[in-house]
Amino acid sequence: MDHNAPVVNDKHRIRTAQLDLPPRLLLGPGPSNYSNRVRQALSTNEIGHLDPRFIDIMNETQELLRYVWQTDHAFTIPVSGTGSAAMEASLANLVEPGDVVLIGVNGYFGERLCDMASRYGADVRRLEKGWGEVFTTDEIGEAIEFHRPSILGLIHAETATGALQPMDRIGKLCREFNCLLLLDTVTSLGGVPVTLDRWHVDVAYSGGQKCISCPPGIAPLTLGPRALEKLNRRKTKVANWYLDMSLLSKYWGPERTYHHTAPVNMVFALREALRIIAEEGLEDRWERHSRNATALWEGLEEIGVSPYVSEEWRLPSLTTAIVPEGVDAKAVAAYLLEHFNIEIAGAFGPLAGKVWRIGLMGHNSRHENVVLLLAALKEAMDNA
Amino acid sequence: MDHNAPVVNDKHRIRTAQLDLPPRLLLGPGPSNYSNRVRQALSTNEIGHLDPRFIDIMNETQELLRYVWQTDHAFTIPVSGTGSAAMEASLANLVEPGDVVLIGVNGYFGERLCDMASRYGADVRRLEKGWGEVFTTDEIGEAIEFHRPSILGLIHAETATGALQPMDRIGKLCREFNCLLLLDTVTSLGGVPVTLDRWHVDVAYSGGQKCISCPPGIAPLTLGPRALEKLNRRKTKVANWYLDMSLLSKYWGPERTYHHTAPVNMVFALREALRIIAEEGLEDRWERHSRNATALWEGLEEIGVSPYVSEEWRLPSLTTAIVPEGVDAKAVAAYLLEHFNIEIAGAFGPLAGKVWRIGLMGHNSRHENVVLLLAALKEAMDNA
């Protein structure tokens, strides 16, 4: 019988030490550091995911997400995964095979939207621009008129390039052409102005670990009434059980029907991160991100490092900074990690080796971090 | 311009209190409680998901998972989601449209496997048995011979019923008929004997929050060489980007290529939970679960409550207990929560209202919990 003392193989029974990690300052493209209040909330004593006390926590988290996104969408929830899971959820639920999906591709995350949409059978149309550039409303309008998509997907803040897509009139254009507007707000939400309802955004998602300043592993998603209507009209089941929002809406809606076990502690952490945002207030938070980013950009110029993206659409939460001629980008990043415990990131695709990516997100968008980073970067460029 | 001080709507800016939760003893079907060591690991200071220090943590976590599963599978990783995500990952990667998938259905989770597999285009064949029963090897062998499936999916420990599927000779039968064996070990891994390589299991998944005693939000997945071969032979892309193991294997393999942001803190917690298992040793851990379950079963009989599942295949980590005639199952569970801070669960499907589900999982499989629960349940039945 297998259940009577099978022989145990101890080959993989390794002895490992207790975790003891260096105090990293995470100034890359995310995850960012978070407040000790969030850390404490994360390790709050556990309760069950169907506990009556958890219901209140769910409701409060949903309501605070609506504030941060500036939306009245009833369907606003944290997805049990990272930002990529929420990204996939948005497409898995809304794309039916054959749907024309128009995607703005001006960096890595637009590429990824194309890949994901195609996996759900979309007829993907690409609107392309160089890495670091953004689309004009006219360009988008012409493309919508030409392709007549069911869904337009845009990246609000391109984490690969540091460009911020202006949103003027785009939502209205989508409504004119009966097209859903899907917006990636992973690196913008909680750091730069995002006003979903004012922009007529139908679907948006984000990640907890960028400007929200929560640990990675939980990801906000919101679907407006037009998106829910498309979901409810589907002729085929969502090709993804875990992310099927028609099932999940029963857990996050009034029925509270079991779907899967919510990541309870991650919800605790997200709720606390959102409370902090509500206490600070969005206007002050946006202003803080803008002020610290401006100080970073000025300081970078002073040490001979130019921001890559045009100031007009430069993203305050993530800066791409041009590696000066003759400087080894990787060696500088390694020096910062080794000598300062500061993490910044390189880039990939066409920007690989050409720029660093420096994040000042949420909790980390602070004067002291700007000053320290500039001094450290100067030392690293001199010594690496 | 949208980026210049849009008007912020404070409608959803609610004021909420700091979390202050009752000290629940989680004796339902999971999540279970976990050790304070795991809690401390969960809130270890954060590092980036591409930090060189995180690589060691990933390697150690993978190796300890191999120990707990008793497998040499190189591809053994934690999925960034709950057990349901790992369940979906197993099917999303291995099922190609038209594949015959045979699934043992003797409870809710077998049903769910059928639903998920069908979403990936499988030709699903059901092998059925009553809730609380298990399949004989002969029944499985006949079904494999008749249906000639590419994949046989079984639930090792049915969380909905408390039945434990014996695994004798099933893996060998699968190999004879060139069929992959997929095993759900959500409620068995770390609590009852699971020896994947000895059983010739090709694909298995689990959840962190059951007998592993980690918070929910991370889920082990393992693919053996035959499963990887089927994945690599696919003619179509995996219809799920987030769970595409051909992409994820590059992040969890030697390349460490970015795919999505790993839930860093959840990996810290899982690693610590696995360290605790390695320190205790699997034999002692299995024996502890068996001993405490036996004490629970004997104690239940003494207060007039009979276990539902035949002792032969009764699951030590989760017991279904028959609600005595005239007792209100829901009222008793509510009494336990209110007066003892103990969570047990009801059931669903054909067992709704008929049984309670009582978990003694991982950290919670303890003598003191058995004694307290029995006394509390007796009081609740007398007073609820």
- Whether residue A14 is contained in a domain is answered as no
CA distance B343 to chain A (A): 8
Mean pLDDT on B99-104: 98
pLDDT of residue A255: 84
Instruction: List pLDDT tens digits, range A33-91.
Output: 999 999 999 999 999 999 999 999 999 999 999 999 999 999 999 999 999 999 999 99
pLDDT of residue B93: 97
| pLDDT of B98 above 50 | yes
Judged by DSSP in three states, A273 sits in helix
User: CA distances (Å), B41 to each of A209, B34, B272, B273, B275, in order?
Assistant: 18, 11, 6, 9, 11
For B320-352, the DSSP string reads EEEPPTT--HHHHHHHHHHHH-EE-B---GGGT
C-beta atoms of A85 and B115 within 8 A: no
d(CA A231, CA A228): 5
Instruction: List pLDDT tens digits, range A328-364.
Output: 999 999 999 999 999 999 999 999 999 999 999 999 9
Contacts A258 to B, Cβ<8 Å: 348
What is the C-alpha end-to-end distance of chain A, expressed in Å?
A: 62
Contacts B193 to A, Cβ<8 Å: 2-3, 5-6
d(CA B86, CA B287): 27
| pLDDT of A319 above 60 | yes
Based on the domain organization, do A257 and A296 belong to the same domain?
Answer: no
CA distance B230 to chain A (A): 19
d(CA B36, CA A45): 10
Contacts B84 to A, Cβ<8 Å: 241-242, 259-261
CA distance B300 to chain A (A): 23
Instruction: List pLDDT tens digits, range B299-316.
Output: 999 999 999 999 999 999
d(CA B372, CA B305): 16
d(CA A180, CA A177): 9
C-beta atoms of A217 and B215 within 8 A: no
Based on the domain organization, do A127 and A193 belong to the same domain?
Answer: yes
d(CA B160, CA B342): 19
> Which of A18, A20, A38, A47 to mutate to probe the B interface, most B CBs <10 Å?
A47
Based on the domain organization, do B379 and B241 belong to the same domain?
Answer: no
Mean pLDDT on B165-193: 98
Residue of chain B whose alpha carbon sits nearest to that of A56: B16
- Whether residue B9 is contained in a domain is answered as no
Instruction: List pLDDT tens digits, range A273-283.
Output: 999 999 999 99
CA distance A148 to chain B (A): 25
Question: Among B246, B186, B195, which residue's Cα sits nearest to residue B221?
Answer: B186
Residue of chain A whose alpha carbon sits nearest to that of B24: A47
Based on the domain organization, do B174 and B272 belong to the same domain?
Answer: yes
Residue of chain A whose alpha carbon sits nearest to that of B346: A50
State the sign of the Cα–Cα–Cα–Cα dihedral A189, A192, A196, A201. Answer: negative
Instruction: List pLDDT tens digits, range B318-373.
Output: 999 999 999 999 999 999 999 999 999 999 999 999 999 999 999 999 999 999 99
- Name residue A371's amino acid: V
- Whether residue A130 is contained in a domain is answered as yes
Based on the domain organization, do B187 and B113 belong to the same domain?
Answer: yes
> Which of B1, B4, B7, B8 to mutate to probe the A interface, most A CBs <10 Å?
B8
Contacts A9 to B, Cβ<8 Å: 70, 197
User: Do B239 and A119 meet the contact criterion of CB atoms below 8 Å apart?
Assistant: yes
Based on the domain organization, do B91 and B167 belong to the same domain?
Answer: yes
User: Do A342 and A373 meet the contact criterion of CB atoms below 8 Å apart?
Assistant: yes
Based on the domain organization, do B256 and B291 belong to the same domain?
Answer: no
Based on the domain organization, do B239 and B256 belong to the same domain?
Answer: yes
Contacts B280 to A, Cβ<8 Å: none
Contacts B52 to A, Cβ<8 Å: 337
C-beta atoms of A47 and B21 within 8 A: yes
Going by pLDDT thresholds of 50, 70 and 90, the confidence category of residue A5 is: low
Contacts A81 to B, Cβ<8 Å: 80-81, 85, 242
A-to-B residue pairs, Cβ atoms closer than 8 angstroms: 298
Q: Which of B26, B43, B241 sits opposite A48 (nearest CB)?
A: B26
Neighbouring CB atoms inside 10 A of A363's CB total 20
Residue of chain B whose alpha carbon sits nearest to that of A25: B47
Residue of chain A whose alpha carbon sits nearest to that of B72: A12
C-beta atoms of A43 and B40 within 8 A: yes
Instruction: List pLDDT tens digits, range A191-230.
Output: 999 999 999 999 999 999 999 999 999 999 999 999 999 9
User: Do B90 and B182 meet the contact criterion of CB atoms below 8 Å apart?
Assistant: yes
Neighbouring CB atoms inside 10 A of A250's CB total 14
Instruction: List pLDDT tens digits, range A87-124.
Output: 999 999 999 999 999 999 999 999 999 999 999 999 99
- Whether residue B18 is contained in a domain is answered as no
Residue of chain B whose alpha carbon sits nearest to that of A337: B51
The boundaries of the domain holding residue B365 are 25-31+281-383
Provide the percentage of residues in chain A whose pLDDT is more than 90: 96
Residue A186 or residue A6, greater confidence: A186
**Range list of β-strands (E), chain B:** 25-26, 75-79, 100-105, 123-128, 151-155, 157-158, 163-164, 180-184, 203-205, 219-223, 318-322, 342-343, 355-359
User: CA distances (Å), B18 to each of A54, A60, A220, A273, B15, in order?
Assistant: 14, 12, 21, 11, 10
- Whether residue B189 is contained in a domain is answered as yes
Instruction: List pLDDT tens digits, range B147-174.
Output: 999 999 999 999 999 999 999 999 999 9
Provide the percentage of residues in chain A whose pLDDT is more than 70: 99
Total domains present in chain B: 2
Single out the residue in B278, B313, B343 at which a domain terminates.
Answer: B278
| pLDDT of B220 above 90 | yes
Neighbouring CB atoms inside 10 A of B109's CB total 26
Contacts B166 to A, Cβ<8 Å: 1-3
Rounded (to 5) percent helix, strand, coil in chain A: 45, 15, 45
Give me the residues paired with residue B266 across strands.
none
| pLDDT of B6 above 80 | no
Based on the domain organization, do A222 and A368 belong to the same domain?
Answer: no
Considering only CA atoms, give the Rg of chain A: 22
Based on the domain organization, do B221 and B364 belong to the same domain?
Answer: no
Considering only CA atoms, give the Rg of chain B: 22
Question: Among A41, A39, A130, which residue's Cα sits nearest to residue B46?
Answer: A39
Based on the domain organization, do A255 and A295 belong to the same domain?
Answer: no
d(CA B116, CA A242): 9
For A303-320, the DSSP string reads TT--BSS-GGGB-SSEEE
d(CA A46, CA B42): 12
| pLDDT of A2 above 60 | no
User: Do B384 and B334 meet the contact criterion of CB atoms below 8 Å apart?
Assistant: yes
d(CA A203, CA A225): 9
User: Residue B107, exposed/middle/buried by CB under 10 A (0-12, 13-18, 19+)?
Assistant: buried
Helix ranges (H only) for A163-281 are 170-176, 196-199, 225-233, 245-252, 264-280
Based on the domain organization, do A128 and A89 belong to the same domain?
Answer: yes
CA distance A299 to chain B (A): 23
- Whether residue A4 is contained in a domain is answered as no
HSE, side-chain direction, 13 A CA sphere, residue B315: 35
Single out the residue in A232, A247, A278 at which a domain terminates.
Answer: A278
pLDDT of residue A215: 97
Going by pLDDT thresholds of 50, 70 and 90, the confidence category of residue A4 is: low
* CATH number of the domain where residue A123 is located: 3.40.640.10
Q: Which of A28, A119, A217 sits opposite B237 (nearest CB)?
A: A119
Element (H, E) at A153: strand A151-155
| pLDDT of B1 above 80 | no
What is the C-alpha end-to-end distance of chain B, expressed in Å?
A: 62
Q: Which of A46, A112, A348 sits opposite B31 (nearest CB)?
A: A46
d(CA A169, CA A65): 24
Q: Which of B31, B115, B337 sits opposite A261 (nearest CB)?
A: B31
C-beta atoms of A33 and B46 within 8 A: yes
- Whether residue B1 is contained in a domain is answered as no
- Whether residue A13 is contained in a domain is answered as no
Indicate the average pLDDT of chain A: 96
State the sign of the Cα–Cα–Cα–Cα dihedral A289, A295, A297, A300. Answer: negative
Contacts B164 to A, Cβ<8 Å: 3
Contacts A288 to B, Cβ<8 Å: none
Q: Which of B2, B11, B193 sits opposite A168 (nearest CB)?
A: B2
Mean pLDDT on A232-257: 92
* CATH number of the domain where residue A336 is located: 3.90.1150.10
pLDDT of residue A1: 40
Going by pLDDT thresholds of 50, 70 and 90, the confidence category of residue B4 is: low
The reported pTM is 0.97
CA distance A326 to chain B (A): 25
C-beta atoms of A5 and B166 within 8 A: no
Indicate the average pLDDT of chain B: 96
Single out the residue in A253, A278, A303 at which a domain terminates.
Answer: A278
User: Do B110 and B158 meet the contact criterion of CB atoms below 8 Å apart?
Assistant: yes
User: In angstroms, how far is CA B50 from the centroid of its own chain?
Assistant: 27
Task: Name the token pair of A73.
Answer: 């969408």
C-beta atoms of A82 and B260 within 8 A: yes
